[in-house]
């Protein structure tokens, strides 16, 4: 075998590299020895201080170790004891004495019902027989809605979000409350609740028909942000950060409330989007469409979650509270469905047994509820709107003018009240009974969640307030106030108490406690979902009623 000859220069360089590596290793060893000596010196010098701090550290470590070692049952017991001690202290502060066991039991029962969504607050009697109701009208001379108002959403920024932004923007310190309104012309208007002034106007876009696409550049048309057809619904998140809108263009637009910027779009629906609602306390969004599906979204992450199928007709309305479930109305399939997201199941509620031209309904006559009373001409062809009272009770409204009260434990309505908004007159032609009268449709319903108060709207010129009885088996009229036109949307909300002077200037109270109840109303000349007939005397506007 041939031996390779090593160049002397290469040998010298190799030995040099070895010496460098050895010197580096020796330097590391020396540094470690020096650090060890310094550490021992510091330990000897500060031994007394360490002993004092060691006792506190040992206590913290012992608590952390106990929490790690304890089982789930032990943890529940520990938290329960802490909660019970907190309740005792609060009850003792209220009573200025030793807390009574009955008072503590009542408080625990109240909190348990509140968390479960079963606590039923009786507030309706406060709003009985309202007189001299204060109604504010929000309007603008230019750049405002040209067609009927279709939806209203109230955005109240949460204190947690305000604290983060208040350092950058001093205007956020006054607890801003915004009202968003949408219209059939595709426009969105942002109003200031305190002054009634318009803050932002987002116009509707040109509908991209074949003729428009030929005349203009298609990229130029699609690059604009907004809706190019009727906006039918809107919703705001509970923390006041997000606004979502949907309509006939099959797109859900997501907007930032503070910046008024478009954050994204959802385009998965195959037909017009008719209803939107946020789950209380979260940014989980439910959407209903004329494609007969319900879709679940996460707005904060701009992500799609799942699709729910079951309705046999287009979905016209949707409602949700704190539990992970939603309630929908199926128009002419005459069903209301409660979707349980976690259980992956649905409950079906059928509105009434039908004959040829009449319904078998639960009605009230002379204070007594008569079951299966046959009412001629009372058959309703469409369930147009639904609203949740609490997690176990809800109401529905039909185009026959009837409002039904439901329980999730029964498949049929507990109570139905007919002709809640009276009868109207057909200007041309006759109905099936041979006369020119018809029942005013129930166009909108709204409730104050977990209370016995709800409101209904139609086209008879009045908004009506109703009280649900304590048994939750019937309801009765509380009061009403005039409002001309189609009541396409209603929304209860709490806000700071304000006073309107004669010159229409608003005086705000110094304290911004959200202790006054308001009702926002979206009024239009036409129905939200169509143009069956119009009320030309009405004005397309937003109204806010002070109920306190």
**SS3 of 186-243:** CCEEEEECCCCCEEEEECCCCCCCHHHHHHCCHHHHHHCCCCCCCEEEEEECCCCCEE
The pLDDT value recorded for residue 429 is 41
263: left (phi over 0), alpha (psi -120 to 50) or beta: alpha
Query: For 2-36, what is each residue's pLDDT tens digit?
Result: 445 555 556 555 565 555 555 656 666 666 666 55
pLDDT exceeds 70 at position 256: yes
527 — pLDDT class (breaks 50, 70, 90): very high
What is the DSSP annotation of 407-438? Answer: ETT-SS-SEEES-TT-EEE-SSS--TTSSSEE
The pLDDT value recorded for residue 188 is 96
> Which has the higher per-residue pLDDT, 536 or 277?
277
| 136-143 average pLDDT score | 89
> Which has the higher per-residue pLDDT, 118 or 277?
277
SS (H, E, C) 482-546: ECCCEEEEEEEEEECCEEECCCCCEEECCCCCCCEEEEEEEEECECCCCCCCECCCCCCEEEEEE
Residue 44 lies in a domain: no
Query: For 459-492, what is each residue's pLDDT tens digit?
Result: 999 999 999 999 999 999 999 999 999 999 999 9
The pLDDT value recorded for residue 6 is 52
Measure the CA dihedral 204/207/208/209, to 10°.
Answer: -170
pLDDT exceeds 70 at position 282: yes
Range from 115-119, 253-257, 440-444, 542-546 carrying the lowest mean pLDDT: 115-119
Three-state secondary-structure class, residue 107: helix
The pLDDT value recorded for residue 375 is 53
The pLDDT value recorded for residue 213 is 67
List Cβ neighbours of 423 (8 Å cut-off, separation of 6 or more): 401, 437, 438, 439, 440
Query: 151: number of CA atoms within 13 Å, CB side?
Result: 26
Range from 323-327, 445-449, 499-503 carrying the lowest mean pLDDT: 499-503
Range from 179-188, 295-304, 436-445 carrying the lowest mean pLDDT: 436-445
Range of the domain at 379: 124-546
99 — pLDDT class (breaks 50, 70, 90): low
Say if CB 505 and CB 471 are below 8 A apart: no
Q: What angle do CA 66, 71, 76 make, to 5 degrees?
A: 95
pLDDT exceeds 50 at position 431: no
pLDDT exceeds 70 at position 540: yes
List Cβ neighbours of 83 (8 Å cut-off, separation of 6 or more): none
Highest mean pLDDT among 108-117, 119-128, 462-471: 462-471
108 — pLDDT class (breaks 50, 70, 90): confident
pLDDT exceeds 90 at position 100: no
Could you tell me which of 412, 430, 318, 409 has the C-alpha nearest to residue 371? 412
The single residue listed with the structure tokens 């012992």 is 62
Residue 398 lies in a domain: yes
Residue 82 lies in a domain: no
Proportion of the chain above pLDDT 90, given as a percent:
49
The pLDDT value recorded for residue 55 is 46
| 391-409 average pLDDT score | 94
List Cβ neighbours of 113 (8 Å cut-off, separation of 6 or more): 119
pLDDT exceeds 90 at position 385: yes
pLDDT exceeds 80 at position 363: no
Range from 213-227, 297-311, 433-447 carrying the lowest mean pLDDT: 213-227
CA 139/CA 149 separation, integer angstroms: 12
The pLDDT value recorded for residue 104 is 82
The pLDDT value recorded for residue 221 is 57
Say if CB 347 and CB 357 are below 8 A apart: no
Overall number of domains in the chain = 1
Residue 289 lies in a domain: yes
Residue 47 lies in a domain: no
Residue 178 lies in a domain: yes
The pLDDT value recorded for residue 65 is 65
Residue 112 lies in a domain: no
Mean pLDDT of the chain: 80
Residue 335 belongs to a domain with what CATH number? 2.130.10.10
Residue 406: strand pairing partners? 394
The pLDDT value recorded for residue 87 is 83
Residue 80 lies in a domain: no
């Amino acid at each position: 075998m041939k031996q390779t000859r090593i160049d002397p220069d290469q040998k010298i360089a190799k030995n040099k590299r070895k010496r460098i590596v050895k010197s580096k290793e020796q330097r590391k060893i020396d540094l470690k020895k020096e650090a060890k000596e310094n550490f021992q010196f510091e330990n000897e010098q500060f031994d007394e201080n360490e002993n004092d701090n060691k006792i506190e550290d040992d206590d913290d470590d012992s608590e952390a170790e106990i929490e790690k070692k304890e089982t789930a049952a032990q943890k529940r017991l520990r938290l329960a004891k802490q909660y019970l001690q907190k309740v005792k202290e609060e009850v003792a502060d209220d009573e200025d004495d030793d807390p009574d066991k009955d008072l503590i039991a009542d408080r625990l029962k109240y909190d348990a019902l509140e968390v479960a969504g079963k606590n039923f607050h009786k507030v309706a009697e406060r709003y009985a027989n309202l007189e001299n109701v204060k109604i504010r009208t929000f309007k603008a001379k230019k750049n405002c809605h040209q067609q009927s108002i279709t939806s209203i959403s109230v955005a109240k920024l949460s204190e947690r979000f305000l604290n983060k932004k208040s350092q950058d923007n001093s205007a956020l310190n006054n607890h801003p409350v915004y009202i968003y309104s949408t219209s059939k012309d595709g426009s969105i208007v942002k109003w200031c609740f305190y002054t009634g002034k318009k803050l932002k106007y987002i116009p509707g876009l040109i509908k991209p028909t074949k003729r428009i696409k030929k005349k203009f550049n298609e990229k130029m048309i699609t690059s604009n942000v907004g809706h190019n057809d009727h906006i039918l619904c809107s919703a705001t998140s509970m923390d006041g950060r997000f606004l979502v809108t949907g309509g006939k263009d099959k797109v859900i637009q997501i907007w930032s409330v503070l910046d008024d910027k478009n954050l994204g779009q959802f385009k998965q629906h195959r037909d017009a989007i008719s209803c939107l609602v946020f789950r209380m306390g979260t940014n989980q969004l439910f959407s209903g469409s004329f494609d007969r599906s319900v879709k679940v979204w996460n707005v904060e992450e701009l992500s799609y979650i799942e699709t729910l199928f079951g309705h046999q007709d287009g979905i016209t309305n949707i409602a949700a509270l704190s539990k992970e479930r939603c309630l929908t109305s199926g128009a002419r399939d005459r069903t209301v469905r409660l979707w349980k997201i976690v259980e992956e199941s649905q409950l079906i509620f059928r509105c009434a047994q039908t004959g040829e031209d009449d319904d078998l309904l639960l009605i009230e006559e002379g204070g007594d509820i008569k079951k299966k009373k046959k009412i001629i001409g009372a058959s309703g062809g469409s369930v147009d709107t639904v609203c949740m009272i609490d997690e176990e009770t809800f109401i529905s409204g039909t185009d026959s003018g009837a409002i039904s009260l439901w329980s999730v434990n029964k498949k049929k309505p507990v109570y139905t009240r007919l002709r809640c908004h009276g009868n109207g007159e057909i200007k041309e032609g006759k109905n099936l009974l041979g006369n020119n009268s018809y029942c005013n449709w129930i166009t909108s319903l709204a409730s104050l969640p977990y209370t016995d108060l709800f409101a209904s709207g139609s086209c008879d010129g009045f908004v009506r307030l109703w009280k649900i009885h304590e048994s939750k088996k019937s309801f009765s009229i509380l009061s009403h106030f005039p409002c001309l036109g189609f009541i396409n949307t209603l929304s209860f909300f709490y806000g700071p108490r304000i006073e309107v002077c004669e010159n229409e200037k608003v005086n705000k109270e110094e304290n911004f406690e959200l202790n006054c109840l308001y009702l926002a109303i979206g009024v239009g000349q036409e129905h939200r979902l169509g143009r069956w007939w119009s009320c030309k005397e009405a004005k397309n506007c937003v109204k806010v009623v002070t109920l306190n």
